[in-house]
Amino acid sequence: MNYTTQMDAARKGIVTREMEIVAKKEGIKVEKLMRLVARGEVAIPANKNHKNIEPEGVGNGLRTKINVNLGISKDCNDVEKELEKVKVAVEMKAEAIMDLSCYGKTQEFRQKLIGMSPAMIGTVPMYDAVGFYDKELKELTAEELLKVIETHAKDGVDFMTIHAGINKETAEVFKRNPRLTNLVSRGGALMFAWMQLNGKENPFYEHFDKVLDICEKYDVTISLGDACRPGSIADSTDPSQIKELMTLGELTKKAWERNVQVIIEGPGHMALNEIKANMMLEKKLCYGAPFYVLGPIVTDIAPGYDHITSAIGGAIAASTGADFLCYVTPAEHLRLPDLNDMKEGIIATKIAAHAADIAKGVKGARKWDNEMSDARKNLDWNKMIELAIDPEKAKKYRENSRPEDEKTCTMCGKMCAVRNMNKVMSGKNLNVLRDDE
């Protein structure tokens, strides 16, 4: 039986190779996964032209996935450095990589990225449009913008951020409700500017059926972009954000009618006490579609540490409904991340995702923690390092400060509670000041 997309297959009762792989990774029955894909509660982004992909599922009941942003800019256009980041991101088991290149002819880099990455690949075609045609923003036509989407799809991109929700209605709501930080979404701001400069409707909204034609043909998952995501905690959960979210819900239903998979993108910057309600709103207004959040960054005062502010918000978001976390690095708001920034961003986001999976009761999530706790009880330092989310750093810290008693560490030495409890509970003598007898 033929099918066009993963959703189409699921609705026809066809178990695809991708579904089998995802079900095995998640430890669930493939029939259950198929039902979730059919309802749109899980997406499996897997472009037909991305031949070496190792598929992942994003959505309800599955492990929280993370995305790594890469790509060149005009000021930092070293392709080799970005390709090195790709290698490391794959080694660190990031489930997704987004190419956010916004300078020059990006297709060569994008094709190399897709060819070498088993992780799912995302892009934002709007970033590419100016360089693709070597035209100023105002001069781009609707047909040309759609052509960029088709080019990315042909190249094998698995999911694309499409800012279709910033239509004329949403733009008017934004203009009537001033913000502290206006629009901070790069693609959203470009689309808003295009609309204002040309006095026309957003072509991705006006011609959404044509966008769906492309996505259905290649099985590209639409990641419906949040042009109005808050760029400060002052702007969160405001009329612009909610109006756009309502529009994204309407577009989700249109996409599902065509068997096109959908992910919804969300905030942004947001105070801790608003996160849970925002997760509920997205799931309600977008009919349970998978939710992809940047952070949320929970305070605006920590440039250089926004991987931490983001991980705090990400853990809360994912534990209360978000399915996919976009990493944030220490370089956020300051510069293009370097390799070390990327590593720190990945680790911080993986910690947030795993903490959320424990809270959500995702199958097998606690097993890793229990194994680490057992290694700590047994003072098995090699096993602790092996199990660490960042073994390289754990090993470095251990080796940089060696204790007198190799079973302990230099924090407590022979006063180590674990060492002493092990001895006492097994009926052995305990010496703290002198060598053991």
Closest CA to 64 of 279, 336, 269, 339: 279
Check whether residue 174 and residue 306 sit in a common domain. yes
pLDDT of residue 317: 98
Q: How far apart are CA 133 and CA 80, in angstroms?
A: 24
Task: State mean pLDDT over 369-375.
Answer: 98
Q: Does 416 count as an annotated binding residue?
A: yes
Annotation-wise, does 412 bind a ligand?
yes
Burial of 422 per CB tally in 10 Å (0-12, 13-18, 19+): middle
What percentage of the chain exceeds 90 in pLDDT?
A: 91
Q: Are residues 208 and 76 in the same domain?
A: yes
Indicate whether 213 belongs to any domain.
yes
Q: Given a cut of 90, is residue 435 above it in pLDDT?
A: no
* pTM above threshold 0.85: yes
Between CA 60 and CA 175 the distance in angstroms is: 35
Q: What is the mean pLDDT of residues 396-413?
A: 92
For residues 6 and 260, give the distance between their C-alpha atoms in angstroms, rounded to a whole number.
Answer: 8
% of the chain exceeding 70 in pLDDT: 100
Query: 333 labelled as ligand-binding?
Result: yes
Please choose, from the candidates 310, 336, 319, 327, the residue with its C-alpha nearest in 3D space to the C-alpha of residue 96.
327
Confidence class of residue 436 from pLDDT cuts 50, 70 and 90? low
Q: Please give the backbone phi and psi of residue 163, each rounded to the nearest 5 degrees, phi first.
A: -85, 75
Same domain, 341 and 374: no
Nearest to residue 185, comparing CAs of 75, 106, 280, 266? 266
User: Going by C-beta distance under 8 Å and a sequence separation of 6 or more, which residues neighbour residue 37?
Assistant: 6, 7, 9, 10, 19, 43, 44, 57, 261
- Is 1 marked within a binding site? no
228 carries a ligand binding annotation = yes
Residue 313 belongs to domain spanning? 6-360
Contact yes or no for 63/357 (Cβ under 8 A): yes
pLDDT tens figures, 22-81: 999 999 999 999 999 999 999 999 999 999 999 999 999 999 999 999 998 888 888 899
Whether 434 has a binding-site annotation, put simply, is no
Does 265 show up as a binding residue in the annotation? yes
Is the residue at 406 inside a domain? no
Whether residues 116 and 166 fall in one domain: yes
Mean pLDDT of the chain: 96
Is 186 known as a binding-site position? yes
Question: How many Cβ atoms sit within 10 Å of the Cβ of residue 333?
Answer: 14
Residue 407 lies in a domain: no
132 falls within a domain: yes
CA angle 328, 268, 107 (to 5 degrees): 60
Residue 127 assigned ligand-binding role: yes
Residue 427 lies in a domain: yes
Does 273 count as an annotated binding residue? no
Give the per-residue pLDDT at 201: 98
Which pLDDT tens digit goes with each residue over 78-116? 889 999 999 999 999 999 999 999 887 789 899 999 999
Domain count, the chain: 3
